[in-house]
Amino acid sequence: LLFSYCKNKLPTIIGQELNLTMFNYRPFSRQNVYYSKSLNEYVYKWSKFLPEKNQKNLFICISSTGHNNGLSLLISNSILDAHYNGDTQAFPLYYYEEREKQSPSLFDAAGESEYIRRDGVSDFILGRARKQYGKNVDKEDIFYYVYGVLHSPDYRNAFENDLKKMLPRLPLVEDVRGFWKFSKAGRQLAELHLNYEEVEPSKEVIVVYNPLSVSEALSQANKEEMEYLNYKVQKMRFPKKGQKDTIIYNNQITIENIPEKAYEYVVNGKSAIEWIMERYQVTTDKASGITNDPNDWAAEVGNPRYILDLLLSIINVSVQTVDIVAGLPKMEFEE
């Protein structure tokens, strides 16, 4: 039966390029995925969150209850793996409902979507927020407020035990200025965490180059591959245990003067920097013998420096995240 199904259906399924999309596999690590109910074991509710390829959405992603590493938090604007940042639960800014299909008329709008967009933030909480903070508050402000508060060390410490057993329950702060500070900070954090590839490297970080000579490069590759050789990674590492101010990228490149506080930004029990070091290394699956080479991704996007630039960007993303979190308003809770 399986052979018959594959023979008859697989060519049709694979021919649907609309299903090929980018998804977030692990923190700051994207992959291509072929999204299809016929080929994917679980598709969950993604058809309600991103039913069409050109639709926009945002997801606050938190780890499920009972997670050993405490509350893990990140944001996404695309389909994501079920273990994106732990056992992940995603809370959308929007969800979509299919329109009732009716007979077409002369007055139908051209190119009108088959889906109606609904808000993930309820009218109830919008009403409460407007009553407390003013009529200028909208649902997007509340969404970013949530992302900001979930980063608050005061909130996370006060409810550390509760967050291991249940989903977060968020208070509305009493102070109007406090609300807007959390919302603004949440928006800044989201911008950083979504557009991390575009963040400029930190000026204090030093990159030491010792490039291959032309003759050395030619002995290992043809002219078309030469520009990639100096940036290829096998496995990034620290010089020695406990020395994290330096990362040996490969035999030609070393990154020095990495700020200590960059490692304070942690997602799912690991610093964002160490997520990059782990995900962007050459590995071979023992069972299948398939090799996962991150250098292929650099070639696919046409940028020899992609992995190096990504690491440098994440160092700065981490520093900026730590600074924004340090500037969040204080929160006090009754014991």
**Bridge partner residues of 283 (DSSP):** 292
pLDDT at 187: 98
pLDDT digits (tens, 9 = 90+) for 144-200: 999 999 999 999 999 888 888 888 889 999 999 999 999 999 999 999 999 999 999
Instruction: Give the DSSP H or E segment for 295.
Output: helix 295-301
Whole-model pTM: value is: 0.87
Burial of residue 253, with CB atoms counted within 10 A of its CB: 0-12 exposed, 13-18 middle, 19 or more buried: buried
| CA 335 from centre of chain | 34
Q: Put the strands of the sheet holding 88-92 in their side by side order.
A: 73-76, 59-63, 88-92
Cβ atoms of 90 and 46 closer than 8 Å:
no
Q: What is the mean pLDDT of residues 38-65?
A: 76
Cβ atoms of 265 and 271 closer than 8 Å:
yes
**d(Cα 60, Cα 247) in Å, to the nearest integer?**
31
Q: Is 117 helix (H, G, I), strand (E, B) or coil?
A: strand
Give the residue extent of every domain in the chain. Answer: 2-104, 121-194, 199-324
- Kindly indicate the confidence band of residue 11, based on its pLDDT and cuts at 50, 70 and 90: low
Question: For helices 176-194 and 139-150, what crossing angle results, to 10°?
Answer: 80
pLDDT digits (tens, 9 = 90+) for 15-28: 555 567 778 889 99
Cβ atoms of 315 and 274 closer than 8 Å:
no
Residues in the chain, total: 335
